[in-house]
Amino acid sequence: MPNKPKILLARAIFPEVITHLEQFFDVESNQDDHIFSSTELIEKLQDKDGLIATGSEPVSAEVLRACPRLKAVCNQAVGYNNIDVAAATKAGVMVTNTPDVLNETTADFGWALLMATARRITESEHWLRAGKWNKWRFDSFLGADVHGATLGVIGMGRIGQAIARRSMGFDMQVLYHNRSRVSPELEARANNARLVSKEELLRQADHVILVLPYSKASHHTIGAAELAMMKPGATLVNLARGGIVDDVALIAALREHKIAAAGLDVFENEPALHPDFLTLSNVVLTPHIASASEPTRRAMAACAAANLLAALLPAAAGALPPNLLNPEVKR
């Protein structure tokens, strides 16, 4: 194809997706793990029509203003707090994400993290590996029960609902907090989840799981005041975004045993997490891998590629990008 549109892949991606994209585009691909800064994005995007980002690159108003050729930013993530969507709309840039394909995998991981945290799985494994297991004791690694407990889900979107549905097998009660009530049908499917205030949820839940999108409004949804409302035996799981929890306040609450434990897949300033997390035994730490099953990561890459194709070559792809976040965009 002569004069193919030019695109930038901000991070490494499955090779077969690159091969597929190369049929339609001139592809520049960043194959190392470096996350581009605003300055680097501006420099790289001068001659690009499209960008596949991963949820980490800062696609700010400044970047969008400085890249007049750019027509589409396709995040390979459901979260898109790294992109200023209002500025993109103003600049005539289509923005897409990868919803749905990761719901079930992320919900599975939420349960893995909750179980590992409540039942002290990683902590006890580290102890065993260190050669410290020489006898059985009645009080070794006593944890919290999950079955029969009250689960609090903050953010009852598609992933929150998938997490709540799984709680049926554990005979749990589900409380949720969300910007608005979900339909009675969805509540029924989500193990009869009941909408309550954030305060009531924090006071009553034995296990609190965070799956809400990050924005200015959700910054530090959980800080010192909220942690003080939680039960002393409660666990907190964050699958959403780092900025939703005040890490310094959480470290203090974990150190002082104001809550029992936390399971964290995301952190403020990740991948540079607060060093004090590493000194605490009552926290399970994973490197932002909730969506990382092989089929799901492949589906996310394919979804981002399909969105980019539809955005830049509508004639070839046949329609608007399936996951367009700013349909009001006008070029």
Q: How far is the CB of 265 from ligand 8YV (least distance, A)?
A: 8
Token pair, residue 78, equals 């459901």
78 touches ligand 8YV by CB under 6 A = yes
Nearest CA to 145 out of 128, 170, 113 is that of 170
**Active-site residue list:** 241, 270, 288
50 touches ligand 8YV by CB under 6 A = no
Span interacting with ligand 8YV, options 1-9, 72-80, 86-94, 228-236, rule CB under 6 A? 72-80
13 touches ligand 8YV by CB under 6 A = no
Q: How far is the CB of 76 from ligand 8YV (least distance, A)?
A: 5
Nearer to ligand 8YV, 301 or 310 (CB): 301
Token pair, residue 44, equals 């790289």
Binding mask 224-263 for ligand 8YV (x = CB under 6 A): ----------------------------------------
List, edge to edge, every strand of the sheet that includes 261-264: 194-195, 173-177, 150-154, 207-210, 235-238, 261-264, 283-285
161 touches ligand 8YV by CB under 6 A = no
Amino acid sitting at position 124:
S
Nearer to ligand 8YV, 191 or 291 (CB): 291
Between residue 290 and residue 319, which ones bind ligand 8YV under the rule CB under 6 A?
Answer: 291
76 touches ligand 8YV by CB under 6 A = yes
Nearer to ligand 8YV, 51 or 78 (CB): 78
> Is residue 204 within 8 Å of 72, Cβ to Cβ?
no
Q: How far is the CB of 36 from ligand 8YV (least distance, A)?
A: 14
Nearer to ligand 8YV, 111 or 172 (CB): 111
102 touches ligand 8YV by CB under 6 A = yes
Q: How far is the CB of 272 from ligand 8YV (least distance, A)?
A: 16
Q: How far is the CB of 181 from ligand 8YV (least distance, A)?
A: 24
d(CA 83, CA 156): 22
Q: Cβ–Cβ contacts within 10 Å for residue 26, how many?
A: 16
Please report which residue ranges of the chain form alpha helices under DSSP H: 15-22, 38-45, 61-65, 85-90, 103-118, 121-129, 158-166, 184-189, 198-204, 224-229, 247-255, 294-312, 314-317
Token pair, residue 121, equals 């799985």
d(CA 177, CA 232): 20
Based on the number of CB atoms within 10 Å of its own CB, is 36 exposed (0-12), middle (13-18) or buried (19 or more)? buried
Write out the residues near ligand 8YV by the rule CB under 6 A.
54-55, 76-79, 102, 291
